[in-house]
């Protein structure tokens, strides 16, 4: 009976771990606002935002994070200031 209890507790713990991992993956950003340089010769040429899949980001890409949005990748803040919800990291 102790063996069955131990196996039941183990299965329950594995299920809880799977649920926790699924919940963490749901917190991950799916898209990112990638900042591209506009190569046209127009007088209003500058940076253009386009939404891309977060998995397509490369090292050196510049991403714009709007207030309240999820951060799609690790990086360095180049300009601006805000606060971040760190609950995904700290629990």
Nearest residue to 54 (alpha-carbon basis) of 21, 76, 31, 33: 31
| Percent over 90 (pLDDT), the chain | 29
Q: Taking residues 43-55, what's their average pLDDT?
A: 79
pTM assigned to the model: 0.61
Residue 1 has pLDDT above 90, yes or no: no
pLDDT at residue 63, rounded to an integer: 92
Q: Residue 25: is it exposed, middle or buried by C-beta count within 10 angstroms (0-12/13-18/19+)?
A: exposed
């Amino acid at each position: 009976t102790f063996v069955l209890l131990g196996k039941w507790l183990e299965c329950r713990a594995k299920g809880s771990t799977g649920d926790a991992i699924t919940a963490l993956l749901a917190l991950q950003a799916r898209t990112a606002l990638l900042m591209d340089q506009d190569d046209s010769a127009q007088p209003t040429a500058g940076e253009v935002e386009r939404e891309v899949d977060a998995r397509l980001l490369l090292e050196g890409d510049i991403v714009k994070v709007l207030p309240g949005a999820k951060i799609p990748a690790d990086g360095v803040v180049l300009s601006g200031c805000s606060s971040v919800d760190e609950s995904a990291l700290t629990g």
